[in-house]
């Protein structure tokens, strides 16, 4: 039984602390749509997705209105196109991306993810065709998102794929130079990618998932920040007590997300999947991950103590969410995207947060180098090195890491870049030694999987 003050604090979260459901993502399995005929394949995937998604937006809005909690983004994830479209070449892959974009417009959803490949151990014909198609596919469409998993803890790092992704990122940036390389904001390179996360750009429906499933991503950095500030206003607390406050707050936020997700799934006649506990920020004041660090007594995210604070925050969010829901999945932790979080972007602009410190913090956060704008003249070798470093963190630590990095054509460190909407804006980060032509990545092959019996 909830006590009165707990009910009142939840109402306060909704009214004044930016609590919302960040994403309801409908996953659709496309393996029964496979055909060697492109026109038949496109017809099959359109029919399958529309059959499940035609009422998605309307249902999310109705459920959100019923509880007074906004569902900010409605999205679709699909089976990896490199698998279900393995027989097609790169030009045909681009045609598939156009079809997906048109389907997304038809059902009025924000993004459709799953223009994806899983290549940690090697690249098949369909994988190569999809990676080759990524720059054009993301340039010529608005709502299609792509992701490629190049590493896992059990398989190691596919360095041939890392090199190809570095090249694809540079090409995508050049093709969208007039929009500051915007296509790269829809592209993630992963290590240990989860199969059920609702957040873009990495969402896709894994091969072990149901035919159709609803996954939910909550939000709540503003809620966590206010909970810390409220309690610190009355008393001086130890960090252990503050972690307990974050844990209890995360529990309430998760309950809200699961309530919305289960009702949307029931109304659509679809299975409920998981709640992703990730604290997802926005570029607005009062809903920032960076502001939580300031509530914890740090002047800016990035100063000494930031990695420890992030580790505590991430762990407390997972513990609180796990108590609230039996079906937790996805990334589940704290995002630290640069341009999408106003406070993090400001810390980077003022020099408190460097790309090296950001990389160190990704050892304890949920994702990795996320929405990081870098100078457009960065070489493919340096870009590949940054991706490989981030993949190594995920591989060794048995966690998900990702790189969503944007080399902005024609711009240098300190220049401003504006992506708009939830993608936000930021100053381009300085990358030391960005013009190197080191051979490390070009050796190719696969970095072997680590041994864990000798872990230290």
Q: How confident is the prediction for the chain on average, in pLDDT?
A: 91
Q: Which is higher by pLDDT, 275 or 5?
A: 275
Least confident range from 81-95, 120-134, 247-261: namely 247-261
β-pairing, 21-28 vs 212-218, is antiparallel
pLDDT score recorded for residue 288: 85
Work out the average pLDDT over 443-452.
Answer: 94
pLDDT score recorded for residue 47: 97
Q: Using one digit for the tens of pLDDT, what is the confidence trace for 376-432?
A: 999 999 999 999 999 999 999 999 999 999 999 999 999 999 988 878 889 999 998
Measured CA to CA, the distance from residue 352 to residue 338 in angstroms comes to: 12
User: For residue 4, is it left (φ>0), alpha (ψ between -120 and 50) or beta?
Assistant: alpha
Q: Using one digit for the tens of pLDDT, what is the confidence trace for 334-377?
A: 888 898 888 999 999 999 999 999 999 999 987 889 999 999 99
> Torsions phi, psi of 410, nearest 5?
80, 0
pLDDT score recorded for residue 2: 54
> Torsions phi, psi of 124, nearest 5?
-90, 180
Q: Using one digit for the tens of pLDDT, what is the confidence trace for 6-44?
A: 666 666 666 666 678 889 999 999 999 999 999 999 999
Measured CA to CA, the distance from residue 158 to residue 13 in angstroms comes to: 44
Q: Using one digit for the tens of pLDDT, what is the confidence trace for 266-305?
A: 999 999 999 988 887 766 666 788 899 999 999 999 999 9
As given in the structure block, the two tokens for residue 160 are 């041939």
Sign of the torsion angle spanned by Cα atoms 173, 128, 28, 257: negative
Q: Which residues of 209-236 are buried (b: 16+ CB within 10 A; e: fewer)?
A: beebbbbbbbbbbbbbbbbbeebbeeee
pTM score of the predicted model: 0.93
Measured CA to CA, the distance from residue 81 to residue 147 in angstroms comes to: 10
Integer CA distances (angstroms), 398 to 151, 391, 395, 423, 452, in order: 11, 10, 5, 28, 10
pLDDT score recorded for residue 14: 64
Measured CA to CA, the distance from residue 413 to residue 376 in angstroms comes to: 9
- Furthest-apart CA atoms within the chain: distance in Å: 68
Least confident range from 4-8, 227-231, 235-239, 437-441: namely 4-8
């Amino acid at each position: 039984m909830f006590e009165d003050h707990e009910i009142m604090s939840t109402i306060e979260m909704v009214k004044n602390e930016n609590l919302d459901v960040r994403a309801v993502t409908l996953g659709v399995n496309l393996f029964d749509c496979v055909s060697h005929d492109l026109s038949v394949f496109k017809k099959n995937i359109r029919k399958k997705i529309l059959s499940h998604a035609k009422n998605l937006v309307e249902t999310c809005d109705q459920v959100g209105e019923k509880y007074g909690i906004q569902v900010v983004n409605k999205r679709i994830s699909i089976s990896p196109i490199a698998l279900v479209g393995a027989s097609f070449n790169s030009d045909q892959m681009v045609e598939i991306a156009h079809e997906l974009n048109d389907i997304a417009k038809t059902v009025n959803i924000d993004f459709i993810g799953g223009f994806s490949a899983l290549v940690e151990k090697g690249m098949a014909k369909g994988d190569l065709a999809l990676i080759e198609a990524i720059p054009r596919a993301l340039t010529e469409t608005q709502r299609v998102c792509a992701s490629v998993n190049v590493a896992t803890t059990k398989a190691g790092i596919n360095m041939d794929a890392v090199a190809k992704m570095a090249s694809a990122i540079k090409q995508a940036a050049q093709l969208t130079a007039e929009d500051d390389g915007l296509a790269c904001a829809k592209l993630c390179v992963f290590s240990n990618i989860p199969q059920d996360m609702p957040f873009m750009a990495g969402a896709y429906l894994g091969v072990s998932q149901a035919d159709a499933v609803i996954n939910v991503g909550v939000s709540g950095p503003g809620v966590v920040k206010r909970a810390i500030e409220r309690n610190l206003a009355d008393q001086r607390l130890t960090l252990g007590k503050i972690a307990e406050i974050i844990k209890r707050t995360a529990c309430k936020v998760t309950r809200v997300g699961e309530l919305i997700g289960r009702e949307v799934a029931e109304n659509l006649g679809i299975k409920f999947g998981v709640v992703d506990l990730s604290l997802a920020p926005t570029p607005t004041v009062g809903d920032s991950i960076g502001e939580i660090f300031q509530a914890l007594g740090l002047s800016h995210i990035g100063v000494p103590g930031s990695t420890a604070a992030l580790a505590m925050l991430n762990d407390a969010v997972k513990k609180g969410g796990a108590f609230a829901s039996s079906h937790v999945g996805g990334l589940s932790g704290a995002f630290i995207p640069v341009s999408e979080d106003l406070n993090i972007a400001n810390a980077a602009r003022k020099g408190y947060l460097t790309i090296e410190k950001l990389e160190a913090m990704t050892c304890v956060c949920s994702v990795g180098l996320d929405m990081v704008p870098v100078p457009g003249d960065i070489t493919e070798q340096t870009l590949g090195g940054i991706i490989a470093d981030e993949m190594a963190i995920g591989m060794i630590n048995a966690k998900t890491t990702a790189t969503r990095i944007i080399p902005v054509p024609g711009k240098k460190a300190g220049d401003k870049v504006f992506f708009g909407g939830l993608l936000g804006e930021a100053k381009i980060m300085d990358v030391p030694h960005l013009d190197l032509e080191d051979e490390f990545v070009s050796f190719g092959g696969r970095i072997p999987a680590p041994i864990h019996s000798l872990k230290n």
